[in-house]
Every structure is written in structure tokens, then in C-alpha cells.
Amino acid sequence: MNAATAHAATAHLPITAELLARYNIAGPRYTSYPTADRFTSAFGSNDLVQALHARLQTAGSATSTDSSRPLSLYVHIPFCASLCYFCACNKIITKHREWAADYLQQLQQELLLYHPHLTHSPAQAERPTVSQLHLGGGSPTFLSDDELKQLMHMLQTFFIFDPQGEYSIEVDPRTVDTQRLRHLKQLGFNRISFGIQDFDPAVQQAVHRVQPVEQVFALMQAAREAGFTSINTDLIYGLPHQNADSFTRTLQQVCALRPDRIALYAYAHLPERFKAQRRIDAHHLPTGNDKIHLLALALQHFSEAGYVYVGMDHFALPDDELAQAKKQGTLQRNFQGYSTRPNCDLIGLGISAISRIGNCYSQNAKTLDAYGQLLAQGQLPVERGLRLTRDDQIRHAVIMAIMCQGEVLFDALQRDWQIDFAAYFAKEIGQLEQLQTQGLVNMQADRFCVTPMGWYFVRAVAMVFDHHLQTTRANAHAAGTDAAHIEQPVRFSKIL
């Protein structure tokens, strides 16, 4: 494969293989700003408690930390029965099914520690409302049906679930059958995400994740019959043995499945950081040019199949809520990616889970031992986090406007933050002008917009405003080193 064949695949799209090569670069996915690699251990459980109290104190006001706002919950189930060699998630590979029961007890302890800080009265009767729940991992379906039921019952003891809410679960197709899917629906889940990655048998063998295409087709059908309102599938390009022919077959099969949403992630081979990846023979990986071609093929197939490009790896059918939100300019972004819900406060439960309360991010301890020790000391199990500075908050607003609306209105920012946009972002405007010459943004007197082509490289536009990343790059440049090794790789954070 070469640039010419890649160009052929993108010929009907407003992008070129040259642009893909230049701007489809490693970088943060901006599910938060600042990104999680900026969190520090100076932020601990007392800081999280303070943020929770500030949220309670502002109840009734119109501030962003108003506790009357609904909450979003994320629960991390870290266990998997089998290792996928591409995996960069925080997971524990084990055959010890009994570990799940202990973990559920720890989650209950964590909830008990949270509860006094979420309600005005310690009375159990007062339960905050939750409008979003996401079970991720690891493999949430490592838990048995009874354990999942126990977990949902536990959460319902502490929270009221809004009947209109979004309740989603990541599912490893190898761990469920029709009956289990029905059970998940009965438990209240209305959204489901299947990890597919690639249907080609040689690719599946090479990444140690064999799940025949017929099995996934049957599960998708069963999920629809069970009544899930939204079905997502995850794919990865850049895996060993992937080539244009095999990946085209996978793309055709995925389009035939017609999921409501598709997430397409790049595989970043970083065996020095992710031990599992050492089992992948690098000789079988597609080259950089081949990866661009695979991406171009995916863009072509999804576009021809009628999918809307939502932004940053995500595609949706035109009548899906995400595509509609993109059209109406109401898209939001949180740790699970794009969302249609307003930016709720987020409580992350379980090891490595991230919370966002008001202007604070916090992340739980990443190992079972450290998590258990903090809980045993009666502390919320926070390992690190961050309180956003005023500059962080301004840049957060700009970056989320880029990622979600593709448009930054200067007046709104000037009014909200009492800044002169042109003066505050003089350096960044210089960089935007370069992107304008490439056709990625359109600068106007009162705003700048991401162009239709720029949406495919929206990460590169957002990176202009990432002060932390720019500082790291400048320091690396001054030291004569390559910044690439200290920047976040393109990550697939929730591939099951």
C-alpha cells in the first residue's frame, strides 16, 4: 500500500492521505482537560471531600457545582479471564472468579464513604439522582449474573436512577449469550457496547482474542431483540496481520451489522509501557503508511454506509442521538467519550476510576492492594488528582467547544471569563493561522470554526490550546529531545 492507494480510498472525502499522515497524530483524546497524565499526588482524598462539600454548599445556586444537578456514575470492573495482547487498559487477568465478590464488598465500602458527602442528611432516604451509569473495565461481564444484580441493587440503594437516563455496559462478546443479554436489559441497562476490534481470524489469533463473526452477529441480533436502545461497536486499526483486503471485509461486516455507533481507535504499539503488547510480533504490524490506508478505508466505508462522523474516532447513524446532538451543536464530552448529556458531576468507583466534581479531577488508586488499603483506613481511595486553575478552566472551555461544537465564539469566552481573547491567546491564534492555511479551521472576526475536513483532525486543533502539552513540547525542544515519548499515545481506553 502506498500514498496513492490511500488517496484513492479518501478521494470522495474532504481529506487526503497526506493530511492524514500529517495531522492524524498521537495526542490526548481530551476526555478531560487537563489530561489525566497531569494529575498529581498532591491531590488526595481530603481534597475530593472538600470538592464534594463545595458541591453541597452551592445547592440551589446556578453554579456549575450545583448539587441539584444529576450525577453520572462510572464503575470500573478490572477483571478479565483472558489477556488481549493489544490491551492498554487497567485490568487484572485472573481465573479467580471469587475475587469479584471481594471487589463488590470494596465498592460498597467506597459508596458508604461517599454517601455522607453527597447528601445534606446522612439519612439513607436521601438519594442523589443519577442520569448516567457506565460499567467499564476490564470486563464488567466477568461478574456473574447474580453479582451484576447485586451491584445494581447496591447502586440503587445509594442513588435514584432517572427513568430517562443512559445506562451502558461494555461487553466482551466471549462472555455473554442471549440469556445474559436479556438479564442485563432487565437490570436496567439500555445501552451496550461490543468490543469487536477485527473479524479476521488471523488478526484475532495474533491478538489472542478469538470471537467468530457469526457469534457477534447473533449477539447483536439478540441485543436488539432484548430491547437495547443503542448498540455500539469498537474497532481497532493497526493490529498485526491487518491489511487492506482483510480490513475491508471487517468493515463490510460491521456496516452490515449496522450498529448505532462505531468507535474506531488506532493501535499504538508501546510494548515498553504495556507488557501485554510484548506478545505481539512487531514484524506483523502494518507500517505507518498502511495504517493511514486502513483508516482511510474505514472513513470511506462508514461514510458510504451513511454514518455521520461525530468527531475523534466516533461515528453514528444519522438518527442516533449523538449525530443529532452534533447537528444541533449540543454535543458534550466526558471520560466515556462523546455524550448528549450536560456535563454532570462524575463519580468514578473502583480501582483507577476517575471522578470529576466541580473543578476537581480525582483518580482512585490503581491496584487492588492500594485501593483496599485506603478503604481500610476509612478514606476515599484517591491516589492523585487536580484542582483546575483559572487558566485550566478557560482552556477547558475552549478545548471542549472545539471538540464538541467545532466552534469557539470569542464574545462568549470574553463575557464568561473577562478576558480579551486575542490578547490571551495571541500565541495560539498564530498557530491557528497555520491550520487555516491547511484548511482545518476557518478564522473569522468573532469566532473560529473547525471546517468539515478539520473535524477529522479535531485533536490537532485542540492541542493548540493545551498549555501543558505545549510547555512539555517546548521544554523537550529546548533540551534537544523528542517530545513524542512524553506525550500521551493514541489510546483506546475502553476496548473490550
- Where does this chain bind ligand SF4 (CB under 6 A)? 80, 83-84, 87, 89, 91, 137-139, 172, 495-496
CB 141 to ligand SF4: min, Å: 9
As measured in angstroms, the least distance from the Cβ of 173 to ligand SF4 is 10
Q: Which is nearer to ligand SF4, 103 or 309 (CB)?
A: 103
CB of 29 to ligand SF4, least distance (A): 17
| For the chain, counts of helices (H) and of strands (E) | 18, 19
- Residue (of 124, 340, 63, 306) closest to 229 by Cα position: 340
- In angstroms, give the least distance from the CB of 104 to ligand SF4: 19
**Using omega within 30 degrees of 0 as the cis cutoff, is the peptide bond preceding 34 cis?**
yes
The residue among 76 and 356 lying less far from ligand SF4, judged by its C-beta, is 76
Taking the least distance from each CB to ligand SF4, the nearer of 150 and 277 is 277
Beta bridge partners of 427: none
User: Cα separation of 353 and 358, whole Å?
Assistant: 17
Smallest distance, ligand SF4 to C-beta of residue 66, A: 35
Q: Which residues contact 294 (CB under 8 A, 6 or more apart)?
A: 237, 238, 242, 244, 247, 286
Nearest to 232 by CA among 272, 270, 275, 265: 265
Q: Of 87 and 235, which CB lies nearer to ligand SF4 in the complex structure?
A: 87
Alpha helices in 359-420, H assignment, sequence order: 368-376, 390-400, 410-417
Whose Cβ is closer to ligand SF4: residue 88's or residue 292's?
A: 88
Give yes or no for a cis peptide into 138 (omega within 30° of 0): yes
For the chain, give the number of residues.
496
Q: Name the burial class of residue 397, with classes exposed (0-12), middle (13-18) and buried (19+) by CB atoms within 10 angstroms of its CB.
A: middle
When the beta carbons of 211 and 355 are compared against ligand SF4, the nearer one is 211
Closer residue to ligand SF4 (CB): 196 or 432: 196
Cα 333 to chain centroid distance, Å, stands at 9
Q: How far is the CB of 277 from ligand SF4 (least distance, A)?
A: 11
Smallest distance, ligand SF4 to C-beta of residue 227, A: 25
